[in-house]
Amino acid sequence: MQGLYLVTPNWDDTAKLLAVTEQALQAGVTLLQYRHKDADAALRLEQATALLVLCRRYRVPFIINDYTELCVRIGADGVHLGGTDASVAEIRAQLGPDAIIGSSCYGDMPRALAAQAAGASYVAFGGFYPSRVKKYAVTTQPDIVLQAAGIITVPVVVIGGMTPENAAPLVARGADMVAAISSVYLADDVAAAVGQFRALYAGSEIV
C-alpha cells in the first residue's frame, strides 16, 4: 500500500460527503477510511454503506474507524484502531486473516512493534503537525519514520495536519502512505489536491 490514505471528515451531509469523496476516488486514492466521531448509529450506517458502494466502484479498499460491528455488518475491508479501542490481536481473530487492520501508534515505536506482532496490516504515526480536525499533542518526531524503516515491515502511515508540502519530508524518510482529511475535503480543487499527494510518490508504482 502506497499513496494517499483519505480519511473522511465529520460531515452530516451525506450527499456532499459522497460527491467530494467520489472526486477524490476518481483522482486516485489508495485507501479510504470512514471516520465520523459525532454521527449517531443510523447516520454512520447510512454513510458507510454508501461509501462502500463508491469504493467498490473505484476498487479502493474501505475501512471503518473504530466500529468493528459496522465493518462486519456492511462487509467493509477492515478497521482502524485507536489507542483506546480493542487490541489488534482481538480484532484480527474476529475479522480473519484477510481484513485490513490499522493501528494508531502516535510517536510510540514499542506500540508499533507490538501492533505489527499482533497482526496489524499497517501502523500509523502522528500527529506530526497541528490538525484542523483532530485534537492531539503534536509530539511525533519525523525521524520516527526513519527508525521504522529498519524494524517495521508493514506499511507506515503518517497523519496529523498533512499537506503535500509538509508530508514531503516524511515521504522522503520512507512513509508509505500519507493520511489526509482537510487538505482534500476542504480543497478548492479536490482532484488537484489528490494529485499533489500522489506526486509525492512520483517514480514509485502506487499500489
Picking from 75, 47, 72, the residue whose alpha carbon sits closest to that of residue 61 is 75
Whether 102 and 120 have beta carbons less than 8 Å apart is answered as yes
Q: Which of 35, 103, 121, 131 is catalytic?
A: 35
DSSP labels for 53-70? HHHHHHT--EEEES-HHH
Amino acid at 173: R
CA torsion, points 94, 100, 106, 111, in degrees to nearest 10? Answer: 50
Choosing from 44, 103, 104, 131, the catalytic residue is: 104
183 labelled catalytic: no
- Is 35 marked active-site? yes
Contact (CB, 8 A) for 131 and 160? yes
What is the C-alpha separation between 16 and 13, in angstroms, rounded? 5
Identified catalytic residue from 92, 111, 134, 173: 134
56 a catalytic residue: no
| Beta-bridge mates of residue 3 | 177
Asked if 28 contacts 58 with a C-beta cutoff of 8 angstroms, the reply is no
Catalytically active residues, by annotation = 35, 104, 134
